[in-house]
Amino acid sequence: MNKAKINAKSVALALLAFGAAGSINLASAEELLVGVQIPLTGPLARVGMGTQEGIRVAAEVFNKTNGKHTIKLITVDDESAPAKAVAAVEKLASQNVVAITGGYASNNISPASDAAGKLGLAYVTSGGVDDGLVKAGRKNFFRINNTQGYQKALVGLLSDLNVKSISIIYSTKDATHGLAADVEKTLKAKGVKVAMHAFDPLITDFKPILNKVKLRDKSEFIAMVGYENEYVGILRAARVLKPNVKGIAGVWSLATPKMQADFPDLMPNVYGTAVLPFPVQFSTPEGKTFAEGYKKLLNKDPDYLGQFGYVQSMLLFEAIARAADNGTLKKGGVIEEMRKTDRQTLIGRVQFDANGDNKNFTQRMGQHQGKKVELVWPKEAATAKPVYPGVPW
């Protein structure tokens, strides 16, 4: 039996005891402080809060199943700004945290993880996919997702839909620009006609870009590579101008129940990356425990942001516990133990390469259909067929 299967089995057995966890004597457990640097205000607040929910559930589950150690979270809002992200890390370090989880947007994560590295702290995230994050030689940095996983999902969907022409509307930030360029290169190699439209992150009126898509590009599909507030702006402009396209897709933070609940008029038939459909259904012991813990703690069902927050943090908590058991907590042991990670999780098998990247990550594509998010790619994971052609207007 390989190491991943052994680890997964051990975790599953521990989680099966979740309901009886109240009988565990935690009075003698060692309390370990973990920092959460996350955007709770500013333009990234929605995704930050979604990720934080999963982090909180991970701490709750870990504390009820580990039996020897307990995790105490200390959270600092980075206000969606790079300088504030660095300040948050430094503040957390001053409070003696042993590692940091959280972060969102590569331009915030980059300086924050650098600051953590200088302080000898492991830093784990699911909020940054810019390849520069794993090419900069950081020894303390780990992420559970990456650009390649998102690119494969978006291109796979477009290929299955037999899209022949596309307009890609993308933010000039590093992560979004990099993903857009990779998608463009891959699609052009497949013979797809691609029109690129960059926008500054400060833009508020997307109608000029949508006018170009409608009158000049005349593409059959629109891909958005940005963040939540930018998706909303693009979709609102598209509803006004109504370009003659057959579909519209985005990447992270789009195929979520929160977006459907907050913007029901903008989401019908929109595609986005998604690990699971909504409402979610889990078949594994860990998945069921995660969903039950989410419902109990937050009184709602989880989405993929919470799922990512849970996975990244649970892996970190486990590494911290191992380092504590080995007596290496103050000697770089958390970073060393993170590099040894190899187990099945709610997003599949996670292993970190020498640069801290999860080499096994692959995303899926979901579509807002009614009040549900259905998986539509890949076919073997699909819960419904794509509605195509289909747009929100």
Per residue in 184-196, pLDDT tens? 999 999 999 999 9
Has residue 26 got a pLDDT over 60?
Answer: no
Judge if 134 and 171 occupy the same domain: no
**Do residues 348 and 362 touch, judged by C-beta distance below 8 A?**
yes
Judge if 248 and 152 occupy the same domain: yes
User: What are the structure tokens assigned to 92, written together?
Assistant: 């957390």
Residue type at 344? Answer: Q
Is residue 139 in some structural domain?
yes
Nearest to 84 by CA among 59, 57, 103, 62: 103
* Length, in residues, of the chain: 393
Judge if 152 and 224 occupy the same domain: yes
pLDDT recorded at residue 278: 86
Q: What range defines the domain where residue 263 resides? A: 148-279+365-381
Nearest to 313 by CA among 130, 112, 103, 157: 103
Neighbours of 171 (CB within 10 A): 21
Is residue 359 in some structural domain?
no
Judge if 326 and 369 occupy the same domain: no
The answer, as to whether pTM is greater than 0.75, is: yes
Rg of the chain, C-alpha, whole Å: 21
| Res. 10 pLDDT band, cuts 50 70 90 | low
Judge if 87 and 107 occupy the same domain: yes
Per residue in 304-344, pLDDT (tens digit) is: 889 999 999 999 999 999 999 999 999 999 999 999 999 99
| Res. 159 pLDDT band, cuts 50 70 90 | very high
Nearest to 203 by CA among 184, 176, 167, 242: 176
Judge if 119 and 226 occupy the same domain: no
- Report, as an integer, the average pLDDT of 239-247: 98
| Res. 280 pLDDT band, cuts 50 70 90 | confident
More confident position, 381 or 392: 392
Nearest to 171 by CA among 99, 252, 102: 252
Domain count, the chain: 2
Report the CATH number that the domain containing residue 337 is assigned in CATH. 3.40.50.2300
Nearest to 337 by CA among 98, 86, 60: 98
Has residue 16 got a pLDDT over 80?
Answer: no
The 3-state secondary structure of 320-332 reads: HHHHHHHCCCCCC
Is residue 315 in some structural domain?
yes
More confident position, 67 or 221: 221
Is residue 386 in some structural domain?
no
Judge if 161 and 246 occupy the same domain: yes
Q: What percent of the chain has pLDDT over 70?
A: 93
Per residue in 347-368, pLDDT (tens digit) is: 889 999 999 999 899 899 999 9
pLDDT recorded at residue 63: 97
pLDDT recorded at residue 8: 53
Question: DSSP labels for 112-134?
Answer: HHHHHHHTT-EEEESS---GGGG
Judge if 224 and 372 occupy the same domain: yes
